[in-house]
A and B are shown apart, each in its own frame.
Chain A
Amino acid sequence: MENEIRLLVNNISVVYSDVIQVLKGVSLNVTKGHIVSLLGSNGAGKTSSLKAISGLLKPENGKVTEGSIEYDGAPIQNFSPEEITRKGIIQVLEGRQEFKYLTVEENLRVGTATRWGKPYKEDLELVYHYFPALLVRKKSLAGYCSGGELQMLVIGRALMAHPNLLLLDEPSLGLAPLLVKEIFQIIKRINREQGTTLLVVEQNANMALQIAHYGYVMENGKIVMESNAEDLRENPDVKEFYLGTAASGALKSYKDVKSYKRRKRWL
């Protein structure tokens, strides 16, 4: 039970518009009940990896051309988002993506789409329990909410779908440090209390590795490093380039970082 594999991504390649290859053999797995984080800088292919899992590559004319994705042992690569969400995999998109002209509560109700017709009152209460800020705003249009409220809203909206595997794409994006901390604590509570398995994409490696059990680092469409979260936090390369604290304690200059990038040591 403890070590069951929920998600197995096996050596996948992803190609957009039949020609643009962005993932070149990515493998990762997510253990049931764990939080796994996927780190990497801009354009590394983190969002593409999540979309490959959730089926959302399709509307963008992207495809898994090689490898396989297994969820609870059954293949799901290139399935439609309608099918994948109904298996309990829900992706929270990067950059929030609220329904502007719907109220907060209506936004949450869209989360019941995979189980239309079933009661949802208790789920609303659960979401308001984790995010009391949403309760206060439940009647206002999402388009007028603050960035922090919106991040809570989109996570809460995904919870309404009873996800077994929740894919979060950069929940810290554009939020003040205190709010980031609060949101990550709630994510951790959801994982512990609801048993939800999570795959969290982040650039804020510091926050992500504090709550994760395991982590992967991605560069240029490949996984370049993986380890349990504590080890990753202690890894000198991760410290230097993702946690922003050099091993020596002294911050290296931007020029050094650039030269490092040019050498692409991990490839």
Chain B
Amino acid sequence: MDFFMQLLVNGISLGLLYALSALGFVMIFKSSSVLNLAHGELLAIGAFVFLVLSAWADLPIIIAFSLTLIGTFFLGFLVERLFLRPLIGEKLIEVIMMTLGLGIMFKGLLLFIFGGDIHAYPDFLPEGLSFELGNIFIPSVNVATFVIGILFLIVFGFFFKYSSQGIYMRSVADNQPAALSLGVHVRRVFAMSWAIAFIVAAISGIVLGIINGVNVHSLSAVGLKVFPVVILGGLDSIGGAILGGIIIGLLETFTGGYISTSLREIIPYIVLVIILMVKPYGLFGLVEIERV
């Protein structure tokens, strides 16, 4: 029972990370129908920017973290501006190929700068964060993951639900011609969705870096898990992405805990294949509102 609880907590906190990073992916897809194949590299970029600021520049953690978020936000704008905006109006497949190329380029650059080794962040999580719940011990890294996951999901949830910019973003995803007719700056919304994708990917990349160490290959591979997550949740549903993230996180930890650690990494893809076979639009995709 304790083992079960332990896995449950681990699974949910890992799942929240997946959910957070999937949020950025879904936002890009919803507003511009672009599948971002560079998603894994976005995680890696965030993790390495934080590495530079925290370990190399030796900045206080909170400042390094905030600067990473601000920096990746602007990086997202820049990438959209330089590489994706010129392709607006071109065929979708060309844009998707562009994201594939971007991913390869980012990965190459990161490998060139940081090499393929595993780097580590300074040990900054206070031991006091960990706590015991009955017989189970929850280490501080899990607590931090949990808190950060919940916190940022709430922040972005509020942003999309209540802020004007969030509502403009959803309007573009909903009905682009109508959004244009009201003067919503559609290109700015695309840029914004890239900037947000960069931020949320950075947050998950950093936390994964704390858990597993910072490595280009493993971080970009984790980024691939966004596909099982969003296919499970439905490509166009933010709520679905969150649920999908948690389910994949739980599946992974339970498979690792009860069946085999070597199966752990592939279970999300097995689920992906099964779901695609039985429900190609995802389990929690938006219910199409049809009028009769």
Q: List residues of A whose CB falls within 8 A of some B CB.
A: 54, 56, 59, 81-82, 85-86, 90-93, 97-102, 106-107, 109-114, 116-117, 141, 143-144, 154, 157-158, 161
Contacts and interface: CB of A to CB of B under 8 A. Distances in A.
B172 to A, nearest CB: 9
Contact of B178 (A99, A112, A114): A99
B110 to A, nearest CB: 36
Given A90-B181, A110-B184, A100 B174 contact: yes
B281 interface: no
13 contacts: A59-B180, A82-B183, A85-B183, A90-B181, A97-B175, A98-B175, A99-B171, A99-B175, A99-B179, A106-B170, A111-B182, A116-B168, A157-B182
Interface residues of B, dominant DSSP:
helix
A92 B165 CA distance: 21
B171 A116 contact: no
The 6 A-B residue pairs whose C-beta atoms are closest, nearest first, are A85-B183, A143-B289, A114-B183, A99-B174, A97-B178, A113-B184
Given A100-B174, A102-B167, A106-B170, 20 more contacts: A56-B180, A81-B180, A81-B181, A93-B177, A93-B178, A97-B175, A99-B170, A99-B178, A101-B170, A101-B286, A102-B170, A106-B167, A107-B171, A109-B167, A113-B171, A113-B182, A113-B183, A116-B164, A141-B289, A144-B289
Given A113-B168, A116-B164, A100 B289 contact: yes
B177 A101 contact: no
B178 A56 contact: no
B182 A85 contact: yes
Contacts of A157: 182
Interface in B138-196: 164-165, 167-168, 170-171, 174-175, 177-185
Contacts of B180: 56, 59, 81
Centre residue among A91, A101, A111, A113 by max chain B CB count within 10 A: A113
B160 to A, nearest CB: 10
B225 to A, nearest CB: 26
Contacts of A110: 167-168, 171, 178-179, 182, 184
Interface residues of B, number: 20
Contacts of B177: 56, 59, 93, 97
Centre residue among B170, B175, B289 by max chain A CB count within 10 A: B175
Contacts of B181: 54, 56, 81, 85, 90-93, 97
A92 B286 CA distance: 26
Given A59-B177, A144-B289, A102 B182 contact: no
Contacts of B165: 116
Contact of A86 (B174, B178, B183, B289): B183
Contacts of A54: 181
B183 A81 contact: yes
B164 A112 contact: yes
A46 B144 CA distance: 60
A147 to B, nearest CB: 8
Nearest to A61: B89
B30 to A, nearest CB: 10
Nearest to B186: A82
Nearest to B176: A59
A97 B181 CA distance: 10
Nearest to B165: A116
A99 B182 CA distance: 12
Contacts of A92: 181
A81 B186 CA distance: 10
A161 B170 contact: no
A102 B183 contact: no
Contacts of A86: 183
Interface string B188-232: 000000000000000000000000000000000000000000000
Contacts of A111: 182
A161 B289 contact: no
A104 B175 CA distance: 14
Contact of B175 (A100, A114, A144, A161): A100
A147 B164 CA distance: 26
B289 A102 contact: no
Contacts of A112: 164
B167 A161 contact: no
A98 B182 CA distance: 11
Contacts of B286: 101
A92 to B, nearest CB: 7
